[in-house]
Amino acid sequence: MPLVHFFETSFSRTTHRRIILVEVASQGVSGWGEVTCGEHPFYNEEWTDAAWMIVRDYVAPLILKIPFESAADIAEHSQHIRGHFMARGGVEAAAWDLEARLKNLPLWEHIGGGWFKEIACGVSIGIQDTVPQLLKTIEKEIAAGYQRIKIKIKPGWDLKVVERVRKEFRGLPKVTQSADSVSRMTALLMQQAAQAQGSTSESKAPEGEAGKVIPFRERGVRRLGFLRECGQHG
């Protein structure tokens, strides 16, 4: 699928995506999920071709031979497959979507959402050809309603770029992505600068943790518990 605009990280520039869509069907109804890994094993150990084999040869046959009472059972029965959280999560997402459709419920309600009428969303912006192009892109996304901005960085496109963004868009919560390709010193300086200005800087997740999927139901329970705790403490 061609992208409307390229997306560039410290690893590469992407202009097309090969995305695995998972369909789970029952009683004439279909549920859909997406395997969210990239085309190459750069973000984590998963990539499109490997995920396709995991879904086709392991997860799908498992789903077809075991009678499940609920989509919540899928994560438990696929735990013996080591890693491959995105591949497994794509199938589970399709099962949750199917179950919600069969119950005639919106997915957000079925998995325990609904605490807010609106959710403050953010957007991740890739590396651009020029700083003015980046600033224009950020301005467009803010106008579209996004309230948090994450920008990708790489050596030579890091401290000065981030400082320019923070100067141009003061008061907007921003998250800068610190990739493995920048030095530890640069990452530390960015983190210190972010803390001083009230925004945040993040680094790539530790090996084996990036893309890790928390089962949908468990994720909902954790989120609800967090919200209740926040409510109790004002």
User: Looking at per-residue confidence, does 151 or 53 come out higher?
Assistant: 53
Instruction: Tell which CATH classification among 3.40.50.920, 3.20.20.120, 3.40.640.10, 3.40.50.1370 matches the domain 122-203.
Output: 3.20.20.120
- Burial (CB < 10 A; 0-12, 13-18, 19+), residue 186, is middle
Give me the pLDDT at residue 170, please. 82
CATH topology assigned to domain 2-111+209-232: Enolase-like; domain 1 (3.30.390)
**What is the average pLDDT across 160-184?**
73
- Residue type at position 105: L
- Which region among 23-32, 40-49, 102-111, 216-225 has the lowest average model confidence (pLDDT)? 216-225
- Which region among 111-115, 194-198, 229-233 has the lowest average model confidence (pLDDT)? 229-233
In this prediction, residue 192 has a pLDDT band, given cuts at 50, 70 and 90, of: low
**What is the average pLDDT across 224-234?**
39
Q: How far is CA 51 from CA 42, 45, 65, 139, in A?
A: 14, 10, 20, 36
- Which region among 108-112, 123-127, 149-153, 224-228 has the lowest average model confidence (pLDDT)? 224-228
Single pTM value for the model = 0.72
- Residue type at position 159: L
User: Looking at per-residue confidence, does 206 or 74 come out higher?
Assistant: 74
* Separation of alpha carbons 214 and 203, rounded Å: 20
Q: Could you tell me which residues are beta bridge partners of residue 2?
A: 16
First CA to last CA distance, the chain? 45
Give me the pLDDT at residue 90, please. 96
Give me the pLDDT at residue 155, please. 85
Q: Could you tell me which residues are beta bridge partners of residue 25?
A: 30
- In this predicted model, what pLDDT tens digit does every residue of 35-87 receive, in sequence order? 999 999 988 899 999 999 999 999 999 888 888 889 999 888 888 999 999 99
Is pLDDT at 220 greater than 70 in this prediction?
A: no
User: Looking at per-residue confidence, does 17 or 176 come out higher?
Assistant: 17
Domain ranges of the chain: 2-111+209-232, 122-203
